[in-house]
Structure 1
Amino acid sequence: GEWAAKQFTEMGLKNVKLEKWGPFGQGWENTRFAAHMVEPTYSPLIGFQLAWSAGTNGPVTGEVLYAAIRTEADMEKWKGKLSGKILLMEPEKEIAPQDRASMSRYTPEQLDGMFLAPDPGQRSPFGMPPMAAAAGAPGRPPMNREQMMSLRRKISEFLKSEGVLAVLSLPYRGDGGTVFGASAGSREVKDPIPPASVALTPEHYNRIFRLVQKKIAVKVELDVQAKFFPEETDSFNVIAELPGSGKKKDEIVMIGAHLDSWHGAQGATDNASGSAVMMEVMRILKALDVKLERTVRIALWGGEEQGLLGSRAYVKERFADRETMKVTSEHGKMSAYYNLDNGTGKIRGIYLQGNDMARPVFEAYLAPFKDLGAETVSIRNTGGTDHQSFDAVGLPGFQFIQDAVEYSTRTHHSNMDTYDRIQRGDMMQASAVIAGFVYHTAMRDEMIPRKPLPKPQPRPADGAKPLPTE
């Protein structure tokens, strides 16, 4: 964050600051990871530690045991039997042949299909996150989020009290050495810390599982070190501006991307790439020395990976509380927010988030970039990133359509999300497209059209609605 703020200052941007928000919860850092199967034969293991789980306090070696602990009854069944063990808690995963290329770009037919409303039964390409999957796991009844989190805390407490050395787990997707994973514990200081939790590539997890099922003794050696930072529970967003100089200088055009990432690698495509593009947009606009009618503001968000926390805190303070829909005076001065957070792929268009009144505006903005492959204006919504914080309170918030490249197959929350996966040409194209959008939005006579204000969205009562089971 301090580095980004320094870059903004050196660009000549104004009102550069790190804006605190909170509470986020305690920080966490993995400082060492080594994993090996040492019996019945030696094999190095590919994986990484899951966030907010404990370290092993130096190298440890333990016998591996399969114990499917999903309910309180399971905890009672395994009580007194787990001390000094390294656990497998999931059955093996079937690995299908890799019959498709891991790299992809949108075809003309796929982009044409985006003009249509989506099939309501369509599933996310990223698969089901582990926590949602757990809610409908075999042997476990459907449960709401509070029930699920309560059970998760009980299991963490149980494993710790029983003296479990570590838990080995399957990634929620991926194979071939690509491991996708995020967290196993909670950032809340008061919550129990689970034993060291390690996601392994499915090939290595399955091998261990099969040996255990055949009653062949397996021992694994782990050296996992982690640090917790309970003393600092706030986080921050990085903010900077190009002030407007016209009659509309009190009105705002915002761009943003999240600066935080998961720890399996560098977070290059999620979301250093998006942050870098948005920083480049500001550099371009500053270098052109154009006199902007409206103020252009950039935000690099914190806490996106834990639930859009940084952007939600910012929107609540500056624009509106989505639970009450009481709006501030700044709400009426916000023209649009543009977000980038779908990997390193070039821009192919923009999602309207159901705001069809913006279609002719964006079609005009995209027209100069048709030869660069950006021309699709889709009525569809897209989720999972910070434009939703703005859209939720009736502000025009948009995410660009990007080529997938290797996002869902290789890099998103994985141990392969490194600088090497960045596509330089794609990011240059994205910077040019967004700079065009921002310039025209800042200079437009009218603000970007809006949808009607949404109704208040109070938090659901505990137990109000169970999670889906599939």
Structure 2
Amino acid sequence: MNTIIKLLFIGLFAIPICSFGQTNSQDLAKINTEGFQNSQVMSLIADLSDVYAPRLTGTDQYLAAAEWVKQTMNSWGMDEAYFENYCDDCMGWEVKSFNVEMVAPAYMKIQAYPYAWTESSNGVQEGELVWIEPSPDLDHVKNKWTGKLKGKTVLIGSAPDQNMLFDALSTRLTEEAIAEAERSIHPAPDNPLGPSAGNVDLIEDLEIIFEQFMQKDDAFFAFLKAEGALAIFGTTPLFPGIVHPSGTYNFRESDEKPIPYFAISPENFGKLSRLTKREKTPKIKFHLDSELYLKPENNVNVLAEITGSDPKLKDEVVMIGAHFDSWHPASGATDNGAGSAVMMEAMRIIKASGLKPKRTIRMALWGGEEQGYVGSLAYAENHFGKVKETARKKEVEKISAYLNMDNGAGQMRGIYLQGNEAVKPVFEEMLAPYEHLDVNHLTIQNTNMTDHDVFDYYNIPGFQIIQDRLNYMTVTHHTNLDALEYVPERDMMINATVIAALVYQIAEREGMMPRKD
């Protein structure tokens, strides 16, 4: 075989034998070069977590972060970057200063962080601790404790079990778990990948969740306030020493605000409960200086667009998104600065690559997701039609798909298809060029409890990304450790580049993405 024939033979088999649909392989090469060799994603997440954090719904910090995103998107040459307000009565809440100590029977600095939207203490307070163990019957609690709580600090909940930390705090999804999910034939089995799976009715189930979970303790908090208790301590069994102040949802202007309420570490809770059981009554000294305020202008979704280049298709839209708000005890790096930075970087990659997608690509960073999809629901009602009504606006028909990222900073491993069988071969083809990165696993399963649920409710193809768990649910989710140190660079680069490639291919398709009906 002569040299020229040898070179042609080698060159032929060096080209991947796969179809890119309507997308030229050179376009994907441009995306890969920009995403992997010129990445800015870690710079973005560093700004979000170190400079513009925390981003609690309704706060001045949230608005400052949103302004930074809009300015950044404009600097990259997006065709539009703008705000849409989503709430007129979502209140801001900020901590100015706090301290919690046990001063008797011996001194102990208590690892604590206040829950959001709780009242200030009006200076330093000091009082004995009592422990109210869980009871499903509020009347039983009232019968036992009425007249006994004035000037007391109240420990509530169960003492956490011991934890020797034999299990790994950080894990990646196993091949067995992914294979089990891929074999699923029903959207709502037991989910081997971790997040909840089910057939969720967005409106009815969300109302039940708020009533039975998010606001289940409101009557109890009102009783403590009426009895003159000074403060409340609770915990979540996250070891070692993790503080998890996720649990107050009194963010509306009309909501009754609890007395000062602190999450404390499970180890501190254990000691306080043991002392109380032995009648070695702890004495607690604390203060909380916090501020509640209402500024409706802070409550904005952040949107940015690359306008489609095809005159016939540019009115059709491919959307990507993540929630932008975070809880307050840390910097919101994994929840959900990581998802927000990935979506910003995906937009930058497409723009910087010089690509001109046929359809419009729109990024949305949502506010108020932690309070029950407040931002994305407001957007949907404004653009798609009212919930609980059958009438729909024409814009519903113009959204080809919505891709969401909100399960931490772990690497993308695939896509939850949300029961949509028709999109499976489409995603298989689009992800084929990235098989070597192990991001191409598809499961028919649903996953719930983030903003893609809103789009699915309106029968828009809405999808959540499967991600490696890392330490999302064991260390960082809504805790004082949600920091940049738990965001791996390679995972973030892969996520942003693959999302950019996916959304660009969807925008280039001859037709819209297929819907369930």
Is the deviation greater in 24-33 or in 86-95?
A: 24-33
TM-score by length of 2: 0.80
Which residue of structure 1 lines up, in the alignment, with residue 438 of structure 2? 373
Instruction: Give RMSD over aligned pairs.
Output: 2.1
Question: Residues 154-233 of structure 1: matches in 2 within 5 Å?
Answer: 154-171=219-236, 173-184=237-248, 186-230=250-294, 232=296
- 2:182 is paired with a residue of what secondary structure? coil
Which residue of structure 1 lines up, in the alignment, with residue 323 of structure 2? 258
Q: Tell whether the 8 Å contact from 1:26 to 1:228 is kept in structure 2 after alignment.
A: yes
CA 1:446–1:150 in 2, change beyond 3 Å: closer, same or farther? Answer: closer
User: Which of 44, 53, 61 matches 2:126?
Assistant: 61
Q: Mind listing any 5+ residue stretches in structure 2 that lack a counterpart?
A: 1-65, 197-207
Matched letter for residue 109 of structure 1: E
- 1:12 is paired with a residue of what secondary structure? coil
Aligned mates of 1:286, 1:25 — CA distance in 2: 34
- 2:127 is paired with a residue of what secondary structure? strand
Residue identity (%): 39
- Cα-to-partner distance string for 1:387-425 (whole Å, 9 max, x where unaligned): 111001100001111111111111111110011111111
- 1:327 is paired with a residue of what secondary structure? coil
Q: Mind listing any 5+ residue stretches in structure 1 that lack a counterpart?
A: 128-142, 453-470
Is 1:361 the counterpart of 2:426 in the alignment?
Answer: yes
Which residue of structure 1 lines up, in the alignment, with residue 169 of structure 2? 102
**What is the CA distance between 1:231 and its match in structure 2?**
5.2
Which residue of structure 1 lines up, in the alignment, with residue 28 of structure 2? none
Matched letter for residue 138 of structure 2: T
Is 1:236 the counterpart of 2:300 in the alignment?
Answer: yes
Higher relative helix content: 2
- 1:272 is paired with a residue of what secondary structure? helix
Question: Residues 19-98 of structure 1: matches in 2 within 5 Å?
Answer: 19-68=84-133, 70-98=137-165
Aligned mates of 2:178, 2:331 — CA distance in 1: 30
Matched letter for residue 262 of structure 2: V
Q: Tell whether the 8 Å contact from 2:417 to 2:444 is kept in structure 1 after alignment.
A: yes
Which residue of structure 2 lines up, in the alignment, with residue 140 of structure 1? none
User: Which of 421, 434, 440 matches 2:486?
Assistant: 421
Give every structure 1 segment of 4 or more consecutive aligned residues whose post-TM-superposition deviation is greater than 6 Å: 147-151
Which residue of structure 2 lines up, in the alignment, with residue 291 of structure 1? 356
CA 1:125–1:55 in 2, change beyond 3 Å: closer, same or farther? Answer: farther
Matched letter for residue 166 of structure 1: A
User: Which of 174, 182, 185 matches 1:115?
Assistant: 182
**What is the CA distance between 1:290 and its match in structure 2?**
1.1
Aligned mates of 1:185, 1:441 — CA distance in 2: 37
Number of paired residues? 436
Is the deviation greater in 403-412 or in 151-160?
A: 151-160
Aligned mates of 1:174, 1:42 — CA distance in 2: 24
For the pair shown, the structure with the greater C-alpha radius of gyration is 2
Aligned mates of 2:505, 2:119 — CA distance in 1: 50
Is 1:408 the counterpart of 2:473 in the alignment?
Answer: yes
Aligned mates of 2:365, 2:404 — CA distance in 1: 10
CA 1:61–1:28 in 2, change beyond 3 Å: closer, same or farther? Answer: same
Question: Residues 134-153 of structure 1: matches in 2 within 5 Å?
Answer: 146=211, 152-153=217-218
Aligned mates of 2:332, 2:258 — CA distance in 1: 24
- Cα-to-partner distance string for 1:85-123 (whole Å, 9 max, x where unaligned): 100122312123211111111122221111133774569
CA 1:124–1:44 in 2, change beyond 3 Å: closer, same or farther? Answer: farther
User: Which of 10, 27, 34 matches 2:75?
Assistant: 10
Question: Residues 275-314 of structure 1: matches in 2 within 5 Å?
Answer: 275-314=340-379
